[in-house]
Structure 1
Amino acid sequence: MDKTPSAEGRPPRAALTGLERSTLRELLIHGPKSRAEIARDLGLSRASLTRVTRALLAEGLITDGAVELRGATGRPSEVLHLRPEGARFLGVKLTGDRVFAVVTDLAARALAEYDEPLSSTRPEDVVAQIGGAYDRLAAEHPGITAAGVGVAGDVVAAGGSQVVRESPFLGWSGVPLADLVSERLGIPATAENDMRALTAAEHWFGVGAGYESMVLISVGAGIGVGIVVDGKLVTGAGGRAGRLEHLPVDPSGPRCERGHRGCLAAYVPNSAIVGALRTPGLDYGQVVALARGGDPAARQAFREAGHALGLLTATLANTIDPERIVITGDGIAVTELARDELDAAIALHRDPPGAPLPLDIQPFEFDEWARAGAVLAIRDFLRF
């Protein structure tokens, strides 16, 4: 039987049963519930629920709360609460030149963070750096239960493991990252495309909590799309679901780095916005400042990016019909500087015209990417 260490440093705990995982998920996603509510929602008998709650209480993963009246009628009931400090998780985000790490509790609340430059992009060196970050963080927060790693690229399940099929930023192909990290850390590890990891985090702990369907759009160095349908992350057969960077926008527009004319990648990424000004030495922050100051060329670059982003948003709304669409990323300034163009493009391409679109614009913090890795570990811990 698989064993994982508890957060308090107790002996390794037995892997959770299916009913225990289901009960924890109910409390994690929907909040405190009475035993009667849990039994009803999960279809459990009283005897089964008693066994499950006894085990979870013994493991320190849940706790009894106050007696509450949970409905308009009926008797007050003792309410069960998730005990977030009952388990800890390591989250990692890899970029082409840095490793970001965070320790969270079971509710994905960050307890400690660490980051450093990558000394090398060779898989063995990156795994060694992840191990060093784990050792540093575990010294302060011992008993980490599992780890999750988010990486830009195609990540697929192969032979029961997550393999990085391709990661251009790291120059990787066919790297069994989850297995390598698990072997180095001595705890279960999972790996996933960073965009899907961020989507999972928003679905469970962010603006998508409680929804069965959502779309997350991230704009910045590239264009990422994460999709949840029927409560499940959409991955695709080859791990490439959501690859819409080259969706056509204007057949007479500028070319992207792959030579496509007028696609999303020619307008929306930060590099495309900078390149539109044709001024050597500028970076994205400077172009944002120019646009805020009224510079005509910078404003035009953002207007074109806003139009393209609106087309993508409407296309996803028409295709998925989600309950929520979230836009975030370190290129989020486009939603500030070109909101009129964004809204106009959505209205133009929305089908049927005028259909409501539940859009959330979320401020971006880079450490959310590492926290998303921890959410991967939490989901894997609960076998979701």
Structure 2
Amino acid sequence: MFRRVTNIAIDELSPAMRAALLEVLIHGELPRAEIARRLHLSRASLTRITRSLVDEGLLAEGETRLMAQTGRPSEMLQLRASARHFLGVKLTGDTLYAVVTDLRAQPVASLERALPSREVADVVAEIADVARMFAAEHPSLVSVGIAIAGQVVQTRDGALVQRSAFLDWTDVPLGALVREATGLPCAVENDVQALTATEHWFGAGAGIDDMALITVGVGIGCGLVANGRPLEGAHARSGQISHLIVDEAGPHCGLRHRGCASSMLVNASIVNAYRQPGADYDDVVSAARAGDAIALAAFEDAGRALGVLIATVVNLVDPQKVVVTGDGIAVFEFADDAVRRSLAERLDKDAAEVDLDVRTWDFSEWARAGAGLAIRTLLA
């Protein structure tokens, strides 16, 4: 266990201080008068609050700027993103990915480490060791966020991993265990939900109240933001779209569903459609780039399936933007037209034009999502 060396932890800030910090974090530099207006505070109260945030090193006073044709110039308040750092962790069945970010969820350090085993105690010990190492380099490290594939619920004692197939875990109180091992607050969430929350504050969804995020790759995930808040569902299971039927004449998935999204869109299904013994997903991508007809047909089918999924989400929740990303994003390289054609065919006739944001992918984004989750948990 190790000690934080900052003056005050973010979770110890008053609600008004956190709200003011959050305005600058999300919207960029702002004058005091604008922050006061947004938070319905008097200018005197806001001045006291921001003075404390400046004293803590979380905000800095910037240039003076004339905000209107009439009136006094306003001094801009800026976020000091380097004032605090956050550790984000992504766990797979055999690897720990970690990044350290600043307050804007921008990475400043990263590592990848093989897990010694899937035993809970061993994984927690690895996380604590990584946190200890990064804390020595970044003394302002204040929190840990963990993104994990599986079902996670929030309890009074911290996050509980109800089930994680990759790690073969059931009912693991990971949040409390990591908090005890590191001495730091620890947030844990399903990886897709963590990525959605991070994109909402720090990425493609910044400033948007209603958005959807769809991930494609080893699996299919969907995260939703409605009225400015992540949508979790009554049982923390919102966004389960991987087994929606997209083609009634399609192949069977591992659960024997015929023509569901998983049977056509996940990486393993694309490999199966390629029908070449010993090939993996990277081989199919290479073959498609070389013009192989069978590989291109597999991606074409995947693109049609993805278009149906996007249309279903848009018809159901009417988001301002749909973000698509993940390690299977190559589907857009080979089947962009198929995705958009299938989407157009399935959209409600009165639907607004879809703002489709296709994001490039790096596996470290999962770990960054953990850090974004940690930031959001402390401030929201």
Q: Gaps (5+ residues) in structure 2?
A: none
**Which residue of structure 2 aligns with residue 293 of structure 1?**
290
- Aligned counterpart, 1:332: 329
Change (3 A) 1:13 1:162: closer
- Cα distance in 2, alignment partners of residues 127 and 121 from structure 1: 10
1:41-80 maps to which residues of 2 (within 5 A)?
A: 41-80=38-77
Deviation, 1:341, is: 0.8
Asked if 1:268 corresponds to 2:265, the answer is yes
> SS of the residue aligned with 1:79?
strand
Would you say 1:93 and 2:90 are equivalent positions?
yes
Find the partner of 1:256 among 253, 256, 259. 253
User: Alignment partner of 2:274: what SS?
Assistant: coil
Deviation of the 1:354 alpha carbon: 6.7
Q: 1:105 corresponds to which letter in structure 2? A: D
Q: 1:12 to 1:364 in 2, by over 3 A?
A: closer
Q: Which digits, 9 at most, give the CA deviation of each residue in 1:79-103, with x for residues without a partner?
A: 1111111111111011111001111
Q: Percent identity?
A: 49
Q: How far is the alpha carbon of 1:197 from its aligned partner? A: 0.8
Q: CA RMSD in A?
A: 1.4
Which residues of 2 match residues 130-145 of structure 1 at below 5 A? 130-145=127-142
Unaligned runs of 5+ in 1: none
Query: Match for 1:125 among 109, 122, 141?
Result: 122
Structure 2 Cα separation of the partners of residues 29 and 256 of structure 1:
41
Aligned partner letter, 1:108: A
- Contact 1:314/1:346, CA 8 A, preserved across alignment: yes
The amino acid across from 1:47 in the alignment is A
Give a deviation string over 1:34-72, Cα, whole Å, max 9, x none.
110000111001232122112111111001111001234
Change (3 A) 1:307 1:12: closer
- Residues 255 and 266 in structure 1, CA contact (< 8 A), matched pair in contact too: yes
Q: Secondary structure at the match of 1:181?
A: helix
User: 2:334 and 2:310 mapped to 1: Cα distance?
Assistant: 17
| Aligned residues of 1:13 and 1:59 also touching (Cα < 8 A) | no
Check whether the contact 2:67–2:74 (CA below 8 A) recurs between aligned residues: yes
**Secondary structure of residue in 2 paired with 1:224:** strand
How much has 1:13 moved relative to structure 2? Answer: 7.1
SS of corresponding position for 2:237 = coil
1:308 aligns with 2:305: yes
Structure 2 matches for 1:363-382, cutoff 5 A?
363-382=360-379
Does the 8 A contact of 1:347 with 1:353 survive in 2?
no
| Equivalent of 2:314 in 313, 317, 333 | 317
> In 2, distance between residues paired with 1:215 and 1:192?
17
What is the CA distance between 1:17 and its match in structure 2?
Answer: 0.7
Provide TM-score, normalisation by structure 2.
0.97
Q: Do 2:10 and 2:378's aligned partners in 1 also have CA atoms closer than 8 Å?
A: no
Amino acid at match of 2:330: A
Cα distance between partner residues in 2 of 1:369 and 1:305? 23
- Deviation, 1:122, is 1.2
- The 5-angstrom pairing of residues 333-348 of structure 1 reads 333-348=330-345
Distance verdict in 2 for CA 1:19–1:10, change over 3 Å:
closer
The one-letter code matched in structure 1 to 2:148 is V
1:232 is aligned to 229
- TM-score, normalised with respect to structure 1: 0.96
Match status 1:104 vs 2:98? no
Q: Distance in 1 between matches of 2:270 and 2:27?
A: 41
Q: How many residues align?
A: 378
Residues 215-255 of structure 1, C-alpha deviations (whole Å, 9 max, x = no match)? 11111100011111111111112211111100001222111
| Match among 159, 162, 168 for residue 159 of structure 2 | 162
